[in-house]
Amino acid sequence: MRKKQQKKLVYGIIGLGRFGFAVAESLAANDCELVVVDRDEDKINKASGFTDNAYVINSLTKESLQQAGIHECDIVIIGIAGEIDVCILTTLYVKRFGVNRVIVKATSEEHGDILEMMGAEVVYPERDMAVRLANKLLAPNLLEYIELSDDINIMEIELTDKMAGQSILSLDVRKNYQLNIVAIKHDDNVIIDFKPSYQFSRGDTITVIGRKENIERFESVL
């Protein structure tokens, strides 16, 4: 029996500023189906290079969004935070369309609170980038991190030369730092099924999960 193909998600991007355009370009690079709208014809012309569904909309009304096909999208990202009233009204329209996920860029906590009350997921790109930069400045060996909660983080850390030759067992980050190693990157290979006897090599990176203070304590001894 032939397995039924899963329907591809359709993404809508409203507003092609730096945030919206970067999201649209990244999704298109991963072969996602897109509907993008903006009032700027030059931006829409650029977006036409990676999607056939790029539309100039001078006024974001319920009717104009429907004509562009936003109401048929599974996920909609709204990146027009600079015009708070337009952003809120557009979010209202999209929510009323019944779109499964609505992700909206906010410029302040108050703006974000209103959007969350409307049932949207809120992102703060500038603030998140600033926090990410600060963490990398404070922890030079930190490559990437994800906040799961206020306390628990997942972080990718580059091991220093002094860790080369040590095994997972001898390092014992679980006992010494209350952290769990979930992946090891060696050269271009990501290893998730590793033994305690695995010996780290120069240039290896590890992905750990645990409390932020424990990760920082571990990073400080590298």
List the domain boundaries for the chain: 10-126, 133-220
Domain 10-126, classified CATH 3.30.300.10, yes or no: no
- Please say if the pLDDT value at position 144 is more than 80: no
With a CB cutoff of 8 Å and minimum separation 6, the contacts of 114 are 88
pLDDT tens digits for range 193-211:
888 889 988 888 888 888 8
**Helix residue spans in the chain (DSSP H):** 18-29, 41-47, 62-68, 84-97, 109-117, 125-138, 168-171, 173-177, 212-220
Residue predicted with more confidence, 146 or 53: 53
Measure the CA–CA gap between 108 and 127, rounded to whole angstroms. Answer: 10
* Range of weakest confidence among 11-25, 67-81, 85-99, 184-198: 184-198
| CA nearest neighbour of 91 among 15, 17, 39 | 15
- Please say if the pLDDT value at position 33 is more than 70: yes
- Please say if the pLDDT value at position 140 is more than 60: no
In the CATH scheme, what is the homologous superfamily, with its name and number, of domain 133-220?
Answer: Regulator of K+ conductance, C-terminal domain (3.30.70.1450)
Q: What is the pLDDT of residue 3?
A: 47
- Please say if the pLDDT value at position 131 is more than 80: no
- Please say if the pLDDT value at position 133 is more than 70: no
- Please say if the pLDDT value at position 141 is more than 80: no
Q: What is the pLDDT of residue 114?
A: 93
Topology match between the domains 10-126 and 133-220: no
Residue predicted with more confidence, 65 or 184: 65
The mean of the pLDDT values for the chain is: 85
- Please say if the pLDDT value at position 137 is more than 70: no
The percentage of the chain sitting over the pLDDT mark of 90, rounded to a whole number, equals 38
Q: What is the pLDDT of residue 202?
A: 83
The secondary structure of residue 67, as a DSSP letter, is H
- Please say if the pLDDT value at position 18 is more than 70: yes
Strand bridging mode 205-211 / 121-123: unpaired
pTM across the whole model: 0.63
With a CB cutoff of 8 Å and minimum separation 6, the contacts of 79 are 13, 14, 15, 16, 17, 19, 20, 23, 105
Q: What is the pLDDT of residue 24?
A: 92
